[in-house]
Structure 1
């Protein structure tokens, strides 16, 4: 099994990348999230998931281990194949996708192409406990350079509010009250949302 492949980016597109490593070119399927991270790079490393079937041997690559783990959780759900999981990771950033699953937001999942209401509900039921045991957004809560704005925003997103609306509310509060504490920002934002 491959853990990762490092190499020169020979070709890339929104759905795939070709990595050259020691004279071999690896065709790797990627999500839009990964594409965004590597579209300007000449060399990169991708964490790999191998999908081996009777008729195909396919590689899926991810910029981060967290994205690969979420992909593996998604394909463990009945009715979700590798391409559907990749579509889900392309439609929503991994952190937002986790929050949608943990908060039981079936409507947001249903908005992803190829995901109906029953599939969205199945994803939530199957993965809510698995993802709940993992730390949701550790980096947002444990970084030493974390700002009050980021903490308030991450809390609102984890409560199930849309990221864009939460950002507007938090920014509006901070523009009028720059010395506001996190708890105060969240309370005021809840009244606005």
Structure 2
């Protein structure tokens, strides 16, 4: 399954690119957040896409070429399929700590968002990390 609608939409767009199958699209989505993927496509940042396992220079450029207009059109039409990142120092600190422990950024963000949503009163990093690790 997908964490939210934005991941599903991006998955469908990614598998429409020649050379990107379901497995590769899942790897991309597990390595980068939807916001990071869209930013990389709009800004023609093939370096970010090439960091994903299984994505080489040609595939990264093909993703950018094939999806830039589709992603730009989404923004022009005012469709906000990508959730806006909220600023939370506690969440950011917990994210950095989880990544230092070897957790993939996108997975850590998903789990932290879930924990924050179910426990909005959390104001200590240690407590947030503890709850996040229990959900992994």
Measured against the shorter chain, the TM-score band is 0.5 to 0.7
1:63 positional shift: 1.6
CA RMSD of aligned residues (A): 2.2
Of residues 26, 34, 38 in structure 2, which corresponds to 1:86?
A: 26
1:138 positional shift: 6.1
Instruction: Quote the residue 1:181 is aligned against.
Output: none
| Length-normalised TM-score, structure 1 | 0.40
> Higher helix fraction: Structure 1 or Structure 2?
2
**Contact residue 95 and residue 137 of structure 1 kept, 8 A:** no
Task: Give a deviation string over 1:126-151, Cα, whole Å, max 9, x none.
Answer: 0000011113676539xxxx77xxxx
Instruction: Quote the residue 1:44 is aligned against.
Output: none
1:81 positional shift: 0.3
Give the distance between the partners of 2:21 and 2:29, measured in 1 at CA: 12
Task: Give a deviation string over 1:49-80, Cα, whole Å, max 9, x none.
Answer: xxxxxxxxxxxx11211110000000000000
Higher RCO (C-alpha 8 Å, min separation 6):
2
> Higher strand fraction: Structure 1 or Structure 2?
1
Between Structure 1 and Structure 2, how many residues are aligned? Answer: 84
Structure 1 residues 62 and 124 mapped into 2: Cα distance closer, same or farther (>3 Å)?
A: same
Runs of 4+ in 1 over 2 A off after TM superposition: 135-141
Q: Within the alignment, does 1:107 sit opposite 2:47 as a pair?
A: yes
Give the distance between the partners of 1:64 and 1:82, measured in 2 at CA: 17
Instruction: Quote the residue 1:140 is aligned against.
Output: 84
Instruction: Quote the residue 2:90 is aligned against.
Output: none
Q: Within the alignment, does 1:68 sit opposite 2:8 as a pair?
A: yes
Task: Say which one has the larger Rg.
Answer: 1
Instruction: Quote the residue 2:69 is aligned against.
Output: 129
